[in-house]
C-alpha cells in the first residue's frame, strides 16, 4: 500500500479538524469569542491521529484540493442535499401513508458524466441516502459511466428521464465539487 505524503496527512488533518469544530459546536463558540481550549486541543490531537492512519485512503492526489472547494462542498451538504432528502422523504411518506398511490419498484440503468472516483462515490452515496433509491452498482461501458439504481417507483424506463428524476441537482453539484 502506498504511503501518504506529509501534505496529504496535513490536508486530511485540516478537514478532520474543521469537521470536529462543526460537530462539537466549537465553530460557533469561536465566533462568539468563548471557545473551549480543551476541546480545541483535543480536536487537534484527534484530527492528526486520524489523519496519520487515514490519509492514504482519503487523499490520493492534490492534497489541498477539497479545501479550495470547501464552500461548494458545504453548500452541497447543508443546502442541496437536505432539499433533495426532504423531497424524497415526502414522496416515500406519501406512498407509505396512501396505499392507492402507485408503487412500481424496479432497477434502472442511468448514465452519469462523473469522471472522478470521489465524485462517483459521493453521487452514489447521495442517491442511496435519499429514501426510495439504492445504488446497486456503478459500471463503465465504452467510456460511459452507468449507475444501476433500485427505485421505489420507476416512473420512466428511459435512462435519461430516469436519471434526471433520480439524480436531480445532486450530479450537477457533485460535479462542481469533484470535477
| Segment 104-141, tens digit of pLDDT | 899 999 999 888 888 899 999 999 999 989 999 999 99
- Show the cell assigned to 160: 435519461
Residue pair 119/175 in contact by the 8 Å Cβ criterion: yes
DSSP character string of 122-155: HHHHHHHHSTTEEEEEEEEETTEEEEEEEESS--
**Res. 64: pLDDT tops 90:** no
**Res. 63: pLDDT tops 80:** no
Against a cut of 0.85, is the pTM above it?
Answer: no
> Any idea which of 38-47, 58-67, 70-79 has the lowest mean pLDDT?
58-67
pLDDT band of 87, cuts 50, 70, 90: very high
Amino acid at each position: 500500500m502506498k504511503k501518504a505524503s506529509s501534505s496529504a496527512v496535513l490536508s486530511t488533518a485540516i478537514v478532520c479538524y474543521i469537521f470536529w469544530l462543526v460537530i462539537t459546536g466549537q465553530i460557533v463558540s469561536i465566533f462568539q469569542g468563548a471557545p473551549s481550549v480543551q476541546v480545541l486541543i483535543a480536536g487537534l490531537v484527534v484530527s492528526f491521529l486520524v489523519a496519520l492512519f487515514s490519509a492514504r485512503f482519503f487523499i490520493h492526489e492534490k492534497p489541498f484540493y477539497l479545501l479550495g472547494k470547501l464552500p461548494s462542498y458545504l453548500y452541497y451538504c447543508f443546502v442541496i442535499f437536505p432539499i433533495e432528502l426532504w423531497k424524497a422523504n415526502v414522496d416515500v411518506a406519501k406512498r407509505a401513508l396512501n396505499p392507492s398511490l402507485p408503487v412500481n419498484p424496479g432497477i434502472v440503468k442511468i448514465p452519469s458524466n462523473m469522471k472522478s472516483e470521489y465524485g462517483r462515490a459521493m453521487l452514489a452515496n447521495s442517491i442511496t441516502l435519499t429514501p426510495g433509491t439504492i445504488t446497486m452498482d456503478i459500471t463503465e461501458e465504452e467510456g460511459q459511466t452507468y449507475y444501476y439504481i433500485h427505485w421505489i417507483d420507476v416512473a420512466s424506463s428511459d435512462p435519461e428521464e430516469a436519471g434526471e428524476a433520480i439524480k436531480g441537482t445532486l450530479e450537477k453539484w457533485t460535479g462542481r465539487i469533484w470535477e
